[in-house]
Structure 1
Amino acid sequence: MGIKVGLIVALMILISLSGMTLIRIQQFAESAKAVEETHLVIEALHQILLDVKDAESAQRGYLLTGHADFLLAHDAVAQRLVGRLTTLRDLTSGHLKQRDQIPILQDMIVQRMETLASGIALFRAPILDRGQIVDLIQGQGMSSMAQLHVQVHRMLATEEEELKRRAALVSHNAASSRQWIFFGNLFAVSLLLYGVWAILREIEQRKLAQRETQKSMAQLELTNKELESFSYSVSHDLRSPLRAIDGYSRILQEDYADKLDDEGRRILNVVRDSSKKMGMLIDDLLTFSKLGRKPVELRKIDMNELVDDVWRDVTSHADKVPAFNKAYLLPCYGDRALVRQVLFNLLSNSIKYSSTVSEPVIDIFSTEEEDEIVYSVRDNGVGFDMRYYDKLFGVFQRLHSESEFPGTGVGLAIVKRVVVRHGGRVWAQSEPAKETIFNFSLPTEVSA
């Protein structure tokens, strides 16, 4: 869990750094555009000042020589100044302080150009001689030109301050971006390295755990084999003394029954019955033990045919044969002999535990679920209390007394062992005095 959190945090940091980098790039682009606009404003102010000076030079040349070329140059400069002011107004549209200065600058330029135009008009009307006109115009021009210079330099100073501010902002943003990117990447790389280290460590721990599990499984398998071997040996070795007990008690019953009183004959019958039950128990133990050693050979099974065969077998000696409803059963893969044992035990139990009802009914049906087939055996017998469900599939566990229903308590344990060895599941539901359903699943195909 910690590894996942670390990797997620590192990924989020890298995504955040990428987002911040994009934002910074956008900010740099906007700052670069603003700096470029500032340079254009400075250039436009210088050009305006130069154009006014060019207009003065053209006027002076015209006054001194009277050539019309100077007059044309003056008019061209006047037209350019109109365009310069429009460009300047557009460039400073977002700068409130400069925007307020443009009308002042425009008035000064208009006033200066009008002064120049009045000089030309005086020259055309010969009221004064040229010397007097030049002196008059120069006197008027020095004052207005000085004011224009002050205004332009004031606006240039404002732009220079704005340029310094923007340059400082770009420098600050660049420095902070470098710091964020450096420390962010350092932190993210550290988290990633920690994640790699943790993953390698977890892989090593899993390998160790796997080796320990394999070791435990090997020990468990060896222990199970020893227990199965011991169970088989004990069960097999018990047969000889059990046969002797049964044989001698039968001899006593046959040859010396007349010499025993009623109590003696009763006790002898108890001994014989107990030996028979013990024999049944040993047979069931041997069957249970053999299941652990017998290899499972998976083959496709026609469950309809198999169920019919088992039903004939379990009802051949039954005192009362229940009604039997068999739906179409889907085929499966399994060991036919072992699956037959499962069906034999479940159907035998259904017959036994429904024998006390007046109209016993047993149903068997199947359903398909993903990669397995579920088979269900249902009866309307005595059922059992689900509070004791955990004891149902245990060895020697019985939910009914032997006086009610005979048995050794091994049958359902055999069912569970067979089904589990096939990789399936087994479970049951019951309502006392109503119905009981035993379910078990088998694979639909042979796994690789």
Structure 2
Amino acid sequence: MPSQGTIGDRVRGLRLNRRMSQAQLAGPDLSDSYVSLIESGKRTPTPVVARLLAERLGCTTEFLLHGIEPRQRIDTELGLRIAELELQHGDPAVAADRFTEIVKAADEENAMLTAHARFGRARALEAQGRLGQAVEAFERLRREAAAHPERLADLPLTIALSRCYQRAGDRLRARDLASHALEQAERLSITEGEIAIDLAAALVESRSERESDSPELAYVQRVLEVSGVPVSVDRSREIKALWHASAAAAAGEDSALAVRLADDAIMAGREARLALQLAKAAMHWARMAAAPIDEAERLITAASGVFAALAGATREHGESLIVHARVQLRAGDLTRAGELAGAALELSSDHYSGTTPAEARLVLATVALDRGGDASTELSTAHQLLDTLGRPVFGSDRRAARCWRELGDLYGRVGSTAQQTAAYRKALEAAGVRSAMAGVTVGADVSR
């Protein structure tokens, strides 16, 4: 376990245990007054001085500076990596517990390790869908980052908070945070790498599909142009093999090798994670009404390829097929739009995909109406599927609201006024507008 107290406390405790005076510890290289200042916490020894003091006190420099022996520190580093692997490729609940154990074991002298573990725990809470607790944790970390910028970087925390508020339905707060993060990124000219990709995904997700021009969308477009949407390879078998090898090395008390193998496993998964984030950003961009059809077609095709290649991205794959179908509707290719909607239905038949089956039915209804045919069966099925979703757990459900609004538009096209009004009402409810609803007649202008 880490030693409690400060560097000064450890210097003084070891000196007294060895029955040394401050002058004896200082020797010919230091003054006894300087040793006194270190012990009182008024001075922090430089690395050179720390090595000198550790040699005279009979301990390691690591213990003197951080309160833990090298083996303890490397075990803590290993614990952080295993928790990260659990978060990215295992069970987020287990990851949260592992990060919490590290936080409890660390002390004030290991502030950076503690901050890293707390950030990991907040991300694990987010991954579990415990958004209220995740927001609390990220907000606390942001306050700490403001007070101790040497421990924590504010930018990744701001992006994470924007993502959480967006998922919880607080779009205004999400947009404010994303805009603040954009200011930092622009100031530092960050347009490549993990932070830029995460920020682009947060920015485009918090934008309305009807927006046509903004600094936020310009940044997203720039990141997509620079990074593209790479072809992704599923490396889950390699990650699991490296993770297993790391655990075996740790069991054999070869902690240094275990850390190296865990690092290799994390890096193997990083490529897929970044490809997934870029694909999500590309998918949201392709959904924008302002996106040129050729560009939207290119991006959504690439995004669908990434989702299809990655294990665990079935939901995103189905969503991307719907976006692709809508791009084809914009292009006037009704046949291709219908094929893509049908593919999305097949994909969602064995997996719960949220609004995807309903959206597929809405696309098929649009295709039928554009061809002058009957869409009553598709509209009825879409209505039933949306009814099964129920009310959102949090403040709003943008996708459900969008589907209900579209259903209302389609009911309007076939002249079903009563069903159109009911669908628009459901759209408002899904968007979080429920007060004073009784007796209100909702028109098409309000629904938009």
TM-score band w.r.t. shorter chain: under 0.3
More strand by proportion, 1 or 2? Answer: 1
Q: Which has the higher contact order (CA 8 A, sep 6+)?
A: 1
Larger radius of gyration: 1
